[in-house]
Amino acid sequence: MAVLAGVGAWTVCLSALTPSAVAQDAQSQQWYLKAMQAEKMWEVSTGKGVKVAVVDSGIDSSTPSLKGQVLPGKDVSRLPGSTETDKTGHGTTMAELIAGTGKSGSLKGLAPDAKIIPIRVSLKGTDGKTSWDPIIAGVRAAADTDAQIISMSIGNVAPDPHLLDAVKYAAKKGKLLLASAGNDGAKRNEPNYPAGYAYAAGVAATDESGKVADFSNTASRPDMAAPGVNIPSWCTETREDYCSGRNGTSAAAALASASAALLWSKHPDWTANQVLRVLLKTAGLQGKNVKPSKYIGYGSVRPRINLLEGEGDPGDPEISPLTNKKLGPPAKKSSDSSESGNADGAPDKVKVADSASDDDEGSAVLPVIGVGAGVVVLAGGGFAFARMRRKSGT
């Protein structure tokens, strides 16, 4: 869904290959719940007490899965309607993946007792001169709520200093930001933002076997991965049934956000830095002194390693595991120095020329062996994990 004419394209990061209706039988297709040992984790944590701001297309709180799960939010989309208006079903699906109750066979959230704060933004543009504004306003609006986690299943290949300002503003307010890495890995494979910024953790997509999906963007240098292939989702405006065969890093970002909610509910005194650090330390090759992978970062999220096995050192509450630096209080732009020319003084993870981007339509998985630098996939806990990649201190 293009938003920026002539500048770049905001896209939701969920696509489909010949989707078919699955009616209210969504849970039978949520393969990752068993793989992640969700039932066992729910005996320890269900996400209760944690609020997740979902910056997306709006959230229909009347679905069976979301009744009683959605709190008041904010609509900065400049479109007709309210936070309850979701023309695409994208935002509603993301909210259900995070905190759905699963009632009547609907989607069951990975953190079913978490609460959702909807932040509705424009995923379709109107004025190219102002279409950045709703996204930026959405991130800032999410930062000003009492949500601990900000889930962003959106992306744009064109970096913007004002978006970076907004992301850093949210991080400085103690929010944990997770963003989809993008779906153009098999095509242009250009960095996506906000996932490409060091203050947001980028999330890649994996399939049922734990392999990274070929559409999953690597240029955004993801920090972690989560399931993103064959995920049921709403596919009609009327919300009469779900569709199967949906793929994208959107779902992966939502499930990573839900994983964070499970950890934060179990450890309410932790900071965003500590929750993220444990997510990273318990992903992939746990305890191995290896570099992160450019394909899936530190590996696929495994909150069970902490919840069920008690592993994962939260570390320093003030130091970001992404930058290895202390954010400190918000600073004026004029006092910041910049390594990459961004307005708020925080360098990007990567540099990229402005260009347009479209949602990826593919769903095949990456062969893993023999692609680019080659990713070694190792089995573990129902998933396979690539070698870990350490993000630079940007």
Segment 36-58, tens digit of pLDDT: 999 999 999 999 999 999 999 99
Average pLDDT over residues 124-152: 81
267 is a catalytic site residue: no
Question: What is the per-residue pLDDT for 337?
Answer: 29
pLDDT in the model for residue 11: 60
| CA distance readout (Å), 10 to 33, 111, 177, 180, 232 | 30, 27, 18, 12, 23
DSSP 391: P
Indicate which CATH number applies to the domain containing 332. Answer: 3.40.50.200
pLDDT at residue 131 in the model? 58
250 is catalytic: yes
Q: Which of 170-184, 222-236, 284-298 has the lowest mean pLDDT?
A: 284-298
pLDDT at 206 (0 to 100): 96
The pair of structure tokens assigned to 191 is 């960095």
Higher pLDDT residue, 140 or 291?
140
Query: Does residue 393 fall inside a structural domain?
Result: no
pLDDT of 336 > 60? The answer is no
Assigned domain for 23 exists: yes
In a domain, 187, yes or no: yes
Min mean pLDDT across 90-104, 292-306, 330-344 is at 330-344
In which domain, by residue range, is 128 found? Answer: 10-385
What are the phi and psi torsion angles at 262 (to 5°)? -60, -45
In the predicted model, is pLDDT for residue 17 greater than 60? no
147 in any annotated domain: yes
Structural domain contains residue 376: yes
pLDDT band at 12 (very low <50, low <70, confident <90, very high): low
With respect to residue 225, please indicate whether it lies within any of the assigned structural domains.
yes
pLDDT at 350 over 90: no
Exactly one of 56, 75, 184, 207 is catalytic; name it: 56
CA proximity to 89, closest of 192, 243, 227: 243
List 90, 131, 214, 359, catalytic entry: 90
Which of helix, strand or coil describes residue 390? coil
Instruction: Please report whether residue 224 resides in a domain.
Output: yes
Residue 385 has pLDDT above 50, yes or no: no
pLDDT tier for residue 236 given thresholds of 50, 70 and 90: confident
162 carries an active-site annotation? no
> What pLDDT is stored for residue 328 in this prediction?
52
Q: Pick the residue with more confidence: 15 or 145?
A: 145
Please say if the pLDDT value at position 204 is more than 80: yes
Q: What tokens does 58 get?
A: 């709006």
The single residue of 151, 250, 293, 300 carrying the catalytic annotation is 250
What is the distance between the alpha carbons of residues 217 and 200, in angstroms, rounded to a whole number?
Answer: 15
Residue 173, domain member (yes or no):
yes
Decide: residue 158, CB within 10 A, 0-12 exposed, 13-18 middle, 19+ buried: buried
pLDDT of residue 331: 34
Whether omega for the bond prior to residue 194 falls within 30 degrees of 0, making it cis, is: yes
Contact status, residue 360 vs residue 354, Cβ threshold 8 Å: no
Contact between 366 and 213 (Cβ < 8 Å)? yes
Q: What is the pTM of this model?
A: 0.80
Average pLDDT over residues 263-283: 97
Please count the structural domains in the chain. Answer: 1
More confident residue, 29 or 285: 29
For 89-108, the pLDDT digits (tens) are: 999 999 999 999 999 999 99
Mean pLDDT of the chain: 79
- Each residue of 311-325: pLDDT tens digit? 999 999 999 999 999
Q: 44-48, 276-280, 284-288: which range is least confident on average?
A: 284-288
